[in-house]
């Protein structure tokens, strides 16, 4: 996003490993070069909720495994901040775990994206700004999980159409899973980047909505819930 002028984002880091927080802060938390300002840090669920409520950041980088209930608990207790009338707080899950239950869990909890800790600094900065703008951030792995979740049902019942992925959304996800950037997806499918982003957001919304349908079935089949 270096091509855009003076972008700023206030970020809270939630991770129980101090070393890791320091590392992320060193990599992205330099206002001058990245436009990201780390306004708070927390090491467990209680701290996180306090800090997030006090600072109202644009984006929370949230670890999935935390003492006190994990990232899902933080999301649950911050639900009001995500839906409030003011500028909403957005959550981006940042985890070392790429287990399906962790990923799907925080996405259903309301996180706007999920990236693993192997992500590069540049990509992470981009992801933070995208989430701050209200878009969803999908790593290839997350796209894979989502496809897996929705692929298990082949014959869609008519009335569940709302919660199913459209052909286009699947295409977009598939390209994400193959490692394409949004720009490349747009080029490949002859659509605008904005359209790609809206497809991805729609997927995310459906993912959060569809716990009644495929996802529940999928998760129960794998004994994840």
Partner 1 sequence: MTTAAAPSSAEVRPLRKLYRSSEGRWLGGVARGLAGHLGLPVSWVRLVFLVLFFTSGLGALLYAVFWFVVPLGAGGVDSAPRAAKTAKSGKTSRRPDKGKIFAVVVVIAALVALSENLQFGSANAYVWPLLLMGIGVAVVWRQADNARRAHWTEVSRRKRLLPLARSAAGAILVGAGVTGFVVIQGSGRQLGSVLQASLAVLVGIGLLAGPYLVRMTQDLSEERLMRIRAQERAEVAAHVHDSVLHTLTLIQRSSENPREVARLARAQERELRAWLYKGAKGTSKDEEEAPQTLAEAVKATAAEVEDHHGVPVEVVCVGDCPLDEKTTAQVQSAREAMVNAAKYGGEGGAVQVFAEVEGLTVFVSVRDRGPGFDPASVPADRMGVRESIIGRMVRNGGKAEVRSAPGEGTEVVLEMERAQS
Q: Which residues sit at the interface with partner 1, rule CB under 8 A? A: 99, 118, 120, 140-141, 143-144, 147-148, 151, 154, 174, 177-180, 184
In this structure, the strands spanning 59-62 and 113-116 are: unpaired
Rounded Cα–Cα distance for residues 165 and 116 (Å) = 24
Rounded Cα–Cα distance for residues 187 and 220 (Å) = 38
Sign of CA dihedral 129, 200, 116, 52: positive
Minimum CB distance to partner 1, residue 158 (Å): 21
Could you tell me if 62 and 92 are in contact, meaning their C-beta atoms sit under 8 angstroms apart? yes
- Residue 219: helix, strand or coil by DSSP? helix
**Is the CB of 58 or the CB of 63 nearer to partner 1?**
63
What would the two tokens of residue 98 be? Answer: 């790429």
**Is the CB of 129 or the CB of 138 nearer to partner 1?**
138
**Is the CB of 7 or the CB of 174 nearer to partner 1?**
174
Rounded Cα–Cα distance for residues 223 and 225 (Å) = 6
**Is the CB of 91 or the CB of 180 nearer to partner 1?**
180
**Is the CB of 99 or the CB of 209 nearer to partner 1?**
99
**Is the CB of 98 or the CB of 135 nearer to partner 1?**
98
In 3D space, the residue among 100, 102, 95 whose CA is nearest the CA of residue 118 turns out to be 95
- Chain-centroid distance, C-alpha 72: 12
Sign of CA dihedral 48, 137, 89, 99: negative
Minimum CB distance to partner 1, residue 78 (Å): 28
Minimum CB distance to partner 1, residue 174 (Å): 7
Minimum CB distance to partner 1, residue 117 (Å): 10
Minimum CB distance to partner 1, residue 152 (Å): 8
What would the two tokens of residue 217 be? Answer: 């079935």
Minimum CB distance to partner 1, residue 79 (Å): 29
């Amino acid at each position: 996003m270096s091509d855009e002028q003076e972008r700023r984002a206030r970020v809270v880091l939630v991770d129980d490993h101090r070393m890791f927080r320091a590392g992320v802060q060193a990599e992205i938390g330099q206002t001058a070069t990245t436009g990201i300002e780390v306004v708070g840090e927390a090491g467990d669920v209680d701290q996180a909720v306090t800090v997030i409520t006090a600072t109202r950041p644009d984006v929370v980088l949230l670890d999935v495994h935390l003492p006190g209930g994990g990232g899902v608990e933080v999301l649950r207790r911050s639900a009001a901040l995500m839906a409030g009338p003011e500028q909403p707080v957005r959550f981006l899950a940042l985890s070392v775990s790429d287990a399906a239950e962790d990923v799907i869990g925080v996405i259903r909890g309301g996180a706007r994206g999920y990236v693993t800790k192997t992500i590069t600094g540049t990509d992470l900065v981009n992801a933070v700004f995208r989430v701050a703008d209200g878009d969803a951030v999908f790593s290839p792995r997350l796209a894979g999980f989502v496809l897996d979740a929705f692929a298990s049902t082949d014959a869609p019942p008519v009335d569940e159409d709302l919660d199913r992925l459209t052909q286009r959304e699947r295409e977009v996800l598939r390209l994400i899973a193959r490692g394409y950037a949004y720009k490349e997806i747009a080029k490949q499918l002859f659509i605008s980047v904005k359209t790609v982003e809206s497809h991805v957001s729609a997927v995310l919304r459906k993912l959060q909505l569809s716990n009644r349908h495929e996802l529940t079935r999928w998760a129960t089949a794998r004994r994840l819930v």
